[in-house]
Amino acid sequence: MLKNLFGSVVKYKNQDYDALKKESKEKGTLFIDTEFPPDDRSLFFTPNKMQGVVWKRPKQICDNPKLFVEGASSGDVSQGRLGNCWFVAACSCLAQEKEIWNKVIPDSKEQEWSDEKPENYQGIFKFQFWRYGEWTEVVIDDFLPTINDELVFIHSQSKNEFWSALLEKAYAKFFGCYEVLDGGELAEALEDFSGGVSDTIDLIKTGVNTNVEERVKLFAHMKKDMDRRSLMAASIPATSAEEMEASTSNGLVKGHAYGVTEVKNVHLEGSGLFGLFNRDKLPMVRLRNPWGQGEWKGAFSDGSPEWNKISKADREKVGLTFEDDGEFWMTMDDFATNFHNVAICRVVNTSFLSLNKTWHEGLHHGAWKKPNRAGGCMNNRDSFLNNPQYVFEITEDEDEFMVQLMQKSTRNKDGSTNATIGFTLFKVELNRKYRIHNLNLHEKVTSSVFRDSRSMFMKHTGTKGRYVIIPSTFDAGVEAEFLMRVYTDTANAFKELTLDHPEKKWYNCCGGTPKLVTHIKVIRAHGLEKQDVQGADPYCVISCEGERATTLADKNTTDPTWNASAVFYRSNPLKSPLKVQIWNANLLRDSYMGKHIFLSTDELNGQQQEVDLVGRKKESNQTRPGKLIVQITQSRTLTAV
């Protein structure tokens, strides 16, 4: 069975390609797919939506059908009589990345028509789509809908090339019928082709269309993502039915998606153009209209005067052609002011044998369920913490990480069944192992927006420590299933927090049920002993009943600030008090600076304390320079923190 990053390939509707092909060969007949029959049931759920459709096999449409003619390219995909430009644009992106389309169209050479071995052809094809953490193999027959011997839907510019039409059919089967693909989200198709994580950027809301700094930042991100072989597309939403697929004066179409096929700083040597744009290099974006025609008419459009100032050699460097093929270049400035949305699908590499950027993945299938796991967003303050909770770690001083929440929605005749979803990120105690119960004790880092999209994405830079993600629906009591994914530079120990508190410590063989929970926040210290030229590099070690947590060092100071927390579920609070030690980080051997032992077992509700420091062991009666400021919450109710 095929293997991939997410495990074994699932057979859609339990149809096995090899078994079905063998069965057809033994019968001496071409395969007919009873699960997606070549009739109106597979076309539309709206009665009599299209008349005169005849289902034909490729050999009934042309003499020499091929899966690919001279390989796959973004020019192979042209939209038909279906409002699925979002899917067509995604196909254009797919065609650019051979490694990805080899996953989506597996064993393409084996599936290709063979003139030498025509008996191997059984009218059956297979494709693979990623869904909710696993790849699914979809089998189809090769009957395609035609009118007057022309393909009704997606088609290639080469009349005898059929990969894009067959791929569209497999995708239609995957979701129910062709009509279900009429209108959709570009980011979703990109994810389904790659298993990547998609993000849709609103160029207006983020200020990219008006703010030069934001534009420069976005171009740098797009270039970096394109260099990492991300899939990318852009669109201009229509605000009314009249605007839908209407061309603007500059040639761009509203309510339409364009594949982004290149992001480049173009060095226009010797062109005299630097004076015009006041730049050594011009940031530019190349796009493709899925219709295969209809292009941008502004600066740097095909045949525009700006290109006349560029030498032939420079044009060849960027692969410039002046054909009405739907592909065109724009400056980043024009791109940012004319397009409204950009979808970027980062194809996440988790293979440590690869030379490309490698991510560490955390993945979990979850659900919002009543009565105690469907708490709604933070507006529902009393129930918010009843949602599923996930913990992960950042082990570097700083790390850019990605989070995606994807609900397991469906597409049908009523549209999508998406709930309004989002997630909130908290920085928690250094040693948090159980669900959080008190919002006041945990630092909210950030939150995604809430939308009725299939998935929500966030890229964020965080400092070393432990984090909890709480995914939620906007309203409380909404039930749905979801997939949670986290990607970090280093191993992240991602897992769901399922227990409210420990019932019994695993290392205490004699028993020991927790009686007291203590949450301590070491805020800062002042007046510590100077231990080197620039002061010291102090850090704290917080320990209790055999467990310990260590803060980051605050560099070059005797007045450090840590603002770090730890939590301890205590079985023997009288015998094993809470201890905070302060150490100075050194290259060879760390040096001791002082400690304080907290003996109280009273209930404490976030009281802040300034305490003295003492020496180690034999010097425990001697005070050390400095004071430690902490905040302690302590309770016999184990769900108080």
Give catalytic residues, as residue numbers. 85, 256, 289
- Which candidate, 528, 497, 502, 532, places its Cα nearest to that of 514? 502
- Which candidate, 177, 179, 237, 178, places its Cα nearest to that of 205? 237
- Distance from chain centroid for Cα 18: 33
- Which candidate, 504, 517, 591, 520, places its Cα nearest to that of 553? 591
Distances (CA, A) of 613 to 50, 96, 583, 597: 83, 64, 12, 9
Please work out, in degrees rounded to the nearest 5, the angle formed at the alpha carbon of residue 414 by the alpha carbons of 409 and 415. Answer: 50
- How far, in Å, CA of 389 to CA of 375, rounded? 11
Which structure tokens are listed for 443?
Answer: 């630092």
- How far, in Å, CA of 158 to CA of 438, rounded? 63
Which structure tokens are listed for 116?
Answer: 């030498």
- How far, in Å, CA of 483 to CA of 367, rounded? 8
The set of residues, in sequence order, having a beta carbon less than 8 Å from that of 279 and lying 6+ positions away, is none
Q: Where are the beta strands (DSSP E) in 316-439?
A: 327-331, 341-346, 360-368, 389-407, 411-412, 415-416, 421-427
Q: Where are the beta strands (DSSP E) in 557-603?
A: 561-570, 578-584, 591-598
Spatial strand order of the sheet with 327-331 comes to 197-202, 341-346, 231-236, 256-266, 282-288, 327-331
Amino acid letter at 250?
N
Amino acid letter at 98?
K
